[in-house]
Chains A and B, each alone.
Chain A
Amino acid sequence: MLEIKGLGVNVGGEEVLQDIDLNIDPGEVHVLLGPNGAGKTTLLMAIMGMPGYEVTRGDILFQGESILPLSVEERARRGIGMAFQKMPTIPGVKLRTLGELMVNGGSSLLLEAAEKLNCTYLLDRSVGLGFSGGEAKRAELFQLFLQRPLLSLIDEPESGVDLDNIALIGKALSELLEREQVKTKQKSGLIITHTGYILEYLNADMGHVLMEGRIVCRGNPRDLFADIRSKGYEECLRCER
């Protein structure tokens, strides 16, 4: 599904990522761990093709084809979706209006997704305007539900969210990524998590630790988390050396 080869990314002229290699097969969910400033969000932004994230080396293949020449919207239309860590405020643009554009007017799909993410009451509010942390995260996932991407890039779904909302978000993610399906999983995901709470709700297949712009460790996500909890990220650097 996604193949990243020797990727280097600059932001504002500064090198943030170096030599990133990452493969996600269809139906796999990977998590990305790492301390603040390690470059996790940069990696997701670069995959999505957001302006300002300049690929200096390497390639990103999606379904076997390089997506580097494609614009953000072309990548979205090919099946890459992103739930952002921070939702922008777009005054006057109702969540419903944006949702309708995404599903081409299909109102039943929209209402069903809103119900699932407890977003019905947010539909007639401006995107991001006055949203609490939990509301913003749910609204992000609501949009991914409408988009139904083949590859979901999810940036810290649990940050700023209370425990009730984490459960709701976790279950929604599990459904979005088809984690309950045994054989027919096709959807893939790359999730940034700081707390690991989200792992309680979906079985991730692989974890990657990103530090100082490089992937320094890979393994079972739960094991990685357990080690990081007990020894801290510094141990990852030492371990690698």
Chain B
Amino acid sequence: MKVREDYLREIKERAEKALHKKAPLGPDVDLSEFYLCSPQEEVDNVESISASLREAALYAGVELGEDKGSATYLQVDRSAVYQKIQDAFQGKLEIMAVSEALERYPELWEYWWGLIPVDADKYTAFSEVCPMEGYFIRVFAHQKIEVPLQACLLLSEESRIQSVHNLVILEEGAEANLITGCASVRGNESGVHIGVSEFYLGDNSRLTFTMIHNWGENFHVRPRTVVKMGNNSFYSNTYVLLKPLSSLQTFPQAVMEGENADANFQSIVFAKGNSYIDIGSSLLLKEKGCRGNSVSRVCAADSSQVYTRGKLISYHDEAQAHLECKGILFSREAEIISIPELEVHGAPGSRLSHEAAVGPIEEEAVNYLRSRGLSREEALSLITRGFLNIDIPGIPAALRQYIDEVIRLTSRDVM
């Protein structure tokens, strides 16, 4: 056990040293202006969850109910308040608070900060120095779970920092669909959410990960996600943000260490108000046959500022990936800055490409819809919803419908 203690001491020390280390991207957030979250009481059954929490979860795409999802994890502020695996999925997967998992399975420490440096920036450092739970999910080898797993992280108190650290492991041949909803409870307009997520995908595994955020207008959000992918593994990451916030910066990465790994990132963003959004994804193609896509659809309105980044890095001749960014600007005060990066290192056979387009909504399309009897506002809304409705490879039809519905519901209020 001495090795583990040494390791824990080392990461703690590194974290403490990095507590003031600014992140290279996004505006710097002074974390000292916020308070730490409070603990919340655990509940045994879903009926005991308050209506306001249920509503917040719903707007982040998570439906709380005894018969919803294959498994559900609900965290409020710094506490896991509800965890449930449906009977039919017992023995096929695990879902629990990460602190409980680390205590129960000491071998998990090998995965802890295994993909993300604890001292990457002040936000990762903070989540180690002030840990506030997070979820642990493991899908056992060769189990194929079609019904989505649900994880929901809510912030109920004003001006607090929530820093979670999630660990997801798909063993060899496992398949799962995970929906994560992160949101502030109605009326809570200010706070910070830090989410560290380390995902390990075994050989021949498949994970579709859908993350929906719904924060108050003065929130700062800093997700930090890295996915390690084995041979023939598949990963689809869809991020949806349709409500204004103060700032968001995230740049998740897929590290494709296995042959024929396939990673797909989709970002769907509608920036409103004074939102500052810096979003992107990075694909590290290390082995033969690795491939992937990074696609973003961005609408920028009001005085919002959106950076969309994409980085493809290839180390193998037989790797290929594509980057696509499309944006619509709705106002003269809004900005979209698209920054693609393609890197090929000693692999002249790599095929990396990118395309980007930023422009207005086509008036021809608006007028066409008006000739069908739609008002200008109805036409703009329909075109915008369509623009955000991107094809997401490899996801089940039910999940596709679900994302469409989230876009429909949440965009209704913002357009």
Contacts and interface: CB of A to CB of B under 8 A. Distances in A.
**Closest 10 A/B residue pairs (Cβ):** A92-B386, A93-B386, A92-B389, A76-B373, A72-B370, A73-B370, A88-B365, A88-B364, A90-B365, A88-B368
A90 B370 CA distance: 13
A73 B389 contact: no
A72 B386 contact: no
Q: Is the contact region of chain A dominated by helix, strand, or loop, or is it mixed?
A: mixed
Nearest to B408: A97
Contacts of A51: 363, 367
B110 interface: no
Interface of B: 362-365, 367-376, 378, 382-383, 385-390
A126 B390 CA distance: 11
Contacts of B368: 84, 87-88, 90
A102 B373 CA distance: 7
A124 to B, nearest CB: 11
B382 A143 contact: no
B375 A73 contact: yes
Given A93-B386, A98-B382, A72 B371 contact: yes
A88 B373 contact: no
Given A72-B367, A92-B388, 11 more contacts: A50-B371, A51-B367, A84-B368, A87-B368, A88-B362, A93-B383, A98-B369, A101-B372, A102-B372, A147-B372, A147-B373
A44 B113 CA distance: 66
B371 A101 contact: no
A16 B374 CA distance: 28
B383 A143 contact: no
A32 interface: no
B95 to A, nearest CB: 34
A173 interface: no
A132 interface: no
Interface residues of A, number: 26
Given A76-B373, A92-B388, A147-B373, A101 B367 contact: no
A71 interface: yes
Interface string A85-128: 00111111110011001100000000000000000000000100
A91 B386 contact: yes
A50 B373 contact: no
A185 interface: no
B372 A98 contact: yes
Contacts of A102: 372-373
A76 B370 contact: yes
B391 to A, nearest CB: 9
A48 B371 CA distance: 7
A82 B390 CA distance: 29
A90 B386 contact: yes
A76 B367 CA distance: 11
Give the interface centre of A77, A82, A88 by most chain B CB atoms within 10 Å: A88
